Structure 1
Amino acid sequence: MIKRMLKLLVGLVAVGLVIGLVAGGWLGWQAWKFLNTPSESPGREVVLDIQPGETFAHVAVELERKGVITDAEKFRLLGRWRKATGHVRAGEFALNTGMVPDEVLKTLTTGTEMLHRLVVREGLAWWETAKLVEQAGLGSFESFKAAVHDPELLAKHNIQADSAEGYLFPETYMLPKPKGNDARAVVEVMLGHFATAAGKVWPQGLPEPRKLHELVVLASLVEKETGAPAERPRIAGVYANRIERGMRLQCDPTIIYGLGESFDGNIRKAHLLDADNPYNTYRINGLPPGPIASPGLESLKAAAEPEKHAYLYFVSRQDGTHQFSKTLEEHNAAVREYQLRRH
């Protein structure tokens, strides 16, 4: 009787071992298959936007929903095994359903965030730049506006003005999507690029903030008036001569800036006479109260070193260049030739 019971126990243990080995083998196979098989072949591109504070479990579920992985629970176990559940970063990531789970995990923990291209050309006003930023998905118009006018941010970058207009350096940027759709980080990057550019113009050290601001204002006028790059120093010289002689600058782009987004494309006589427009350089003496656009590096150089000459006037030749004059009589003749007769 005892021998029969021992045989039965041995048999049960053997069966259990076999079942355990089979089960273990099956689980091992499933784990190997999950780790080494992409969810789709060929793969497709998927963008995953992880918000700050999202849990690893939520990220795993989202990955399964988007088809990047086949099993959220197994991905969670992989994260725990790799001790990576606390290292997934917030941001926008470019993934592919052809990746195996380890590749997905590595991208989310150590990979580079997806970058968005932002092209800001010379001569844009801050609100025009804000629209480009919003269109690029790099922050809302309102958050860009708030950052541009934030006294704390202006003080941090030593800008002695009520806005960062003129200091939003024109450049082609590749930037990650900001957290919470807040464009403040974009403004910070642009101000940093301005500082780098200014260091090239004044390698021995920047002028004191108030003087620098005046030069940025002048550079913005040069930027808006220049069609031919080679004319920048000459146009800067015209404005420098007029300021030295106490003449009004009579710069049309300043009027347009003062009108803001309401400008319809035509400057009228009423605009020239408008004393309520603080940027109307037909009515005010000297430079306008602030920059009217973002000047590029060459315009900053022109403002820093205007060409020395006796010109006081210039008028468009309608081909991107200007006719420069030393006297009002010469200027009037140039206006008749290049403006009135052509119209």
Structure 2
Amino acid sequence: MKIALRVFGMALLCALAFCGWLFYEACVFLNNAPETQGREVFFDVTPGARLAFVSAELAVRGIVTDARKFSLLARWHRSENRLQAGRFALNTGWVPERVLDELVNGRPVLFRITVPEGLTWHQTGRLLEQTGFVRFEDFQNVIADTDFLRRYGIPFSTAEGFLMPDTYLLKKPDAPDMSQAQAVVGRMVENFWRRAAQAWPDTKKPAAEDLKKYVVLASVVEKETGRNAERPRVAGVYSNRIEKGLLLQADPTVIYGLGEGFDGNLRRVHLDDAANLYNTYQHPGLPPGPICSFGIAALTAAVRPESHDFLYFVAASDGGEHVFSTNLTDHNRAVQRYRASKHGGK
């Protein structure tokens, strides 16, 4: 009997000691951060990631001190299946419960990027690549993918013109892939359709042929003037020229057709090149597709061009304002004045 009591007492003491040790370990883990002077760490949780994997990665990155204990903490809070997918800004100076709360209830990190008006798809792709959102090759493949174009209702061979200029908040992956490019391009195209609705006649999406005309003309207007007040007038000039059977003779379309190798100097040989399908000095009507991304002001101008008799325009100065003319004689005089102003009046 005494032996049994002694054994029981020893077992009880061991159990109490073990419980005390567990309590101590739990307190140390829960109340101490990995680093006193914490540092910010971006941490990615992939969709469907298992708790054990996430816990192990947190330990490897120095965000928690013990992967197994973090997993137990998550299970204690019944959060093992509530981890969000995305990129999170965590800190090595946080205690484990704060890390868990951020992964369960926090908002994934989004990065701001502004895509300005007037960029070609190529320039947009390079911008997104340089800022770490996509790989250019993936971006190029997505904007020309026939299934993607069909899904988003784009009636051209690429998504040129439908990559809506705007400021975006996007996730930035460590290793961009095709799915990331699809998500980014899809976001830009969806933004185009949403914002373009305010420009359509009667707020209804136009028929396919009208849609093509509006989008192409808007892209040319975007390149021709940066002044919102002038855009309807520029659109009216091109509408008048098309109606009268005159060539558009728009330099930006020729430049677009020359591609990324254009050196900035538009020459007569370029204007005479009929092989360039975007050469509106040689081919009648609008070019075969948009030449850049454009803002709503340019699209609205293309849908509702100003009614007037102007057939020509030329820059009044390098500041962006233009002189509009109804006949070639007045236009040539305006061109001469512009050239004289560039050469100090000579």
1:160 touches 1:210 (CA, 8 Å); kept in 2? no
- Distance in 2 (CA, whole Å) between partners of 1:246 and 1:48 is 60
Q: SS in structure 1 opposite 2:168?
A: strand
Deviates more, 1:82-91 or 1:292-301: 82-91
Using the size of structure 1 for normalisation, the TM-score is 0.93
Per the alignment, residue 300 of structure 2 pairs with 301
Give the drift of 1:41: 2.7
How does 1:1-343 map onto structure 2 within 5 Å?
A: 6-51=1-46, 54-177=49-172, 180-182=176-178, 183-202=181-200, 203-317=202-316, 318-340=318-340, 342-343=342-343
Give the drift of 1:116: 1.8
Superposed CA RMSD in Å reads 1.8
Q: SS in structure 1 opposite 2:41?
A: strand
- Distance in 2 (CA, whole Å) between partners of 1:83 and 1:157 is 40
Q: SS in structure 1 opposite 2:165?
A: coil
Q: Which amino acid aligns with 2:218?
A: A
Give the drift of 1:76: 2.0
Q: Which amino acid aligns with 1:332?
A: N
Q: Which amino acid aligns with 1:84?
A: S
Q: SS in structure 1 opposite 2:198?
A: helix
1:159 touches 1:213 (CA, 8 Å); kept in 2? no
- Distance in 2 (CA, whole Å) between partners of 1:139 and 1:180 is 5
Q: Which amino acid aligns with 2:143?
A: V
Q: Which amino acid aligns with 1:327?
A: N
Per the alignment, residue 3 of structure 1 pairs with none
Unaligned runs of at least 5 residues, structure 2: none
Q: SS in structure 2 opposite 1:332?
A: helix
- Distance in 2 (CA, whole Å) between partners of 1:8 and 1:59 is 49
Q: Which amino acid aligns with 1:209?
A: A
Q: Which amino acid aligns with 1:37?
A: N
- Distance in 2 (CA, whole Å) between partners of 1:75 and 1:341 is 72
Give the drift of 1:78: 2.0
- Distance in 1 (CA, whole Å) between partners of 2:183 and 2:18 is 53
- Distance in 2 (CA, whole Å) between partners of 1:88 and 1:264 is 51
2:133 touches 2:176 (CA, 8 Å); kept in 1? no
Give the drift of 1:32: 2.5
Unaligned runs of at least 5 residues, structure 1: 1-5
Give the drift of 1:151: 1.2
- Distance in 2 (CA, whole Å) between partners of 1:145 and 1:24 is 60
Q: SS in structure 2 opposite 1:95?
A: strand
Give the drift of 1:55: 3.8
- Distance in 2 (CA, whole Å) between partners of 1:54 and 1:92 is 13
2:135 touches 2:176 (CA, 8 Å); kept in 1? no
1:165 touches 1:292 (CA, 8 Å); kept in 2? yes
Using the size of structure 2 for normalisation, the TM-score is 0.92
1:258 touches 1:277 (CA, 8 Å); kept in 2? yes
